[in-house]
Amino acid sequence: MNISKIEKTDWYEDYIVHWRPTDMCNYDCSYCDPSNHLAINKAKLPDVNRLIAASKKIRDAVPTNKSVLVYITGGEPFLVKDVHKWLNWMGENKMRVAIFTNGSLPLRVYDYSKESFKNINIKISFHPESADVDKIVDFVNMIKDNDGNVEVRAMLAQGLFDKIFELEKKLKDTPIYKIPVNPLYNKTTKITNQTFESSRELKGYRQKLDNGDLNYYTKQELEFIETLEQKTPSYLNFTINDTIETNAIDFLQQRINKFQGWKCGITNKKILIEANGNVKYGTCAATGIIGNIFEKEIDLFKEEWTICNKEVCSTLDEIMITKFKLN
């Protein structure tokens, strides 16, 4: 297919903020990039009042008639002390929030945030190497009991599919989206990090899709993955060349997510805020660091185009941002 234009006209929000308030995590999953789950150091966790002050900068930078989605990842964001104050502030100031968590912390930690549940989307990542099935079930029920919105994403880790089926049986009224993991692979040594092996100190490893060549999934597991039929959320739909409807997951799986040299509108759509406060336009960081949210004022969103300099576009929402192929 000769693709020359990508466009999505039905965004739920006008601007997107991907915020990683901490890179620390209480899990050490075998397939997780080491930079996303540093060991916990409570002294280095962010101050919640600093996060609120930074959020005010974002709200002030966006016209009052425009919407903002803040999706919070990590690390494990619920490690931040009094995180509920931050979530409440954003909800009260008309910022849509989606927060990703592994759901493993004591229920009393989440209980502090229950007043926020009705204003945010909670996305639980079920990591079967470490997760307690019953604890996840209790957390999901707590969210529902407080009128919250919850989505469960189960990581299909090698050899642990049965644990996911157990969770599915106990949460029969809650859809579970099953996600094959991309194991960590060292292309020099040709070694794949296996289930239950720590990844926190690994060097030279990158996540890689297993097509049966990495000795990660068994033949039976790969066959199961191929049979998965899961409804793609409508918010991932977009248009190719003004006429062809598709979705970001299919686009990614077909590996046609290559826009190097294209004109892209990311600077007027999405920013990434890292744990240290550095701000970039998108996960791709196409223009490098543009400032620090905790320091001086930044021109956060710009009505201008940038030329993509990345080999691939691997983030679902960034794939859908308007792009034109230059002649």
Edge-to-edge strand ranges of the sheet holding 120-126: 176-180, 149-156, 120-126, 95-101, 68-72, 15-19, 270-273, 278-280, 289-292
3-class secondary structure, 193: coil
Q: How far apart are CA 38 and CA 111, in angstroms?
A: 25
Residue among 249, 256, 305 at smallest CA distance from 281: 305
pLDDT over 90 (residue 243): yes
Residue 164 burial (CB < 10 Å; 0-12/13-18/19+)? buried
Say whether pLDDT at 187 is over 80. yes
Beta strands in the chain (DSSP E): 5-7, 15-19, 68-72, 95-101, 120-126, 149-156, 176-180, 184-186, 191-192, 206-207, 237-240, 244-247, 263-264, 270-273, 278-280, 289-292, 306-307, 323-324
| Gap between the Cα atoms of 155 and 121, Å rounded | 19
pLDDT of the residue at 123: 96
Q: Which domains does the chain have, with CATH numbers?
A: 5-324 (3.20.20)
Please count the other Cβ atoms lying within 10 Å of the Cβ belonging to residue 211: 8
CB contact set of 60 (below 8 Å; sequence gap of 6+): none
Least confident of 122-131, 212-221, 268-277: 212-221
How does pLDDT run across 193-224, given as a tens digit for each residue? 999 999 999 999 999 988 888 989 999 999 99
* pTM of the predicted structure, to 2 decimals: 0.93
Tell me which of 292 and 310 has the higher pLDDT.
Answer: 292
pLDDT band at 231 (very low <50, low <70, confident <90, very high): confident
What is the band of 312 on the pLDDT scale with cuts at 50, 70, 90?
A: confident
What confidence score (pLDDT) does residue 250 get?
A: 83
Q: What order do you get walking across the sheet with 206-207 strand by strand?
A: 191-192, 184-186, 206-207
Residue 296 pLDDT exceeds 90: no
What angle is formed at CA 287 by the lines to CA 282 and CA 291, rounded to 5 degrees? 80
pLDDT at residue 184 in the model: 96
Chain mean pLDDT for the chain: 93
Contact 11, 63 (CB under 8 A): no
Contact of 230 with 222, CB cutoff 8 Å: no
Q: How many whole angstroms separate alpha carbon 235 and alpha carbon 24?
A: 29
**Per-residue pLDDT at 230:** 74
Q: Which residues contact 74 (CB under 8 A, 6 or more apart)?
A: 20, 21, 22, 23, 24, 25, 36, 37, 100
What integer is the mean pLDDT of 168-197?
93
What span, in angstroms and rounded, lies between the C-alpha atoms of 266 and 324? 12
Contacts of residue 127, Cβ cutoff 8 Å, sequence gap at least 6 = 27, 29, 102, 155, 157
For residue 75, say if its preceding peptide bond is cis, omega within 30 degrees of 0.
yes
Beta-ladder partners of 324: 5, 263
CA dihedral angle for residue 254, residue 271, residue 120, residue 39, rounded to 10 degrees: 90
Mean pLDDT of 233-251: 90
- Predicted confidence at residue 287, as pLDDT, reads 86
**3-24: pLDDT as tens digits:** 999 999 999 899 999 999 999 9
Question: What is the average pLDDT across 179-203?
Answer: 94
Tokens of 84: 């509920």
Structure tokens at 294: 């905790």
Tens digit of each residue's pLDDT (9 = 90 or more) over 58-90: 999 999 899 999 999 999 999 999 999 999 999
pLDDT tens figures, 99-123: 999 999 999 999 998 888 988 999 9
Per-residue model confidence (pLDDT) at position 249: 84
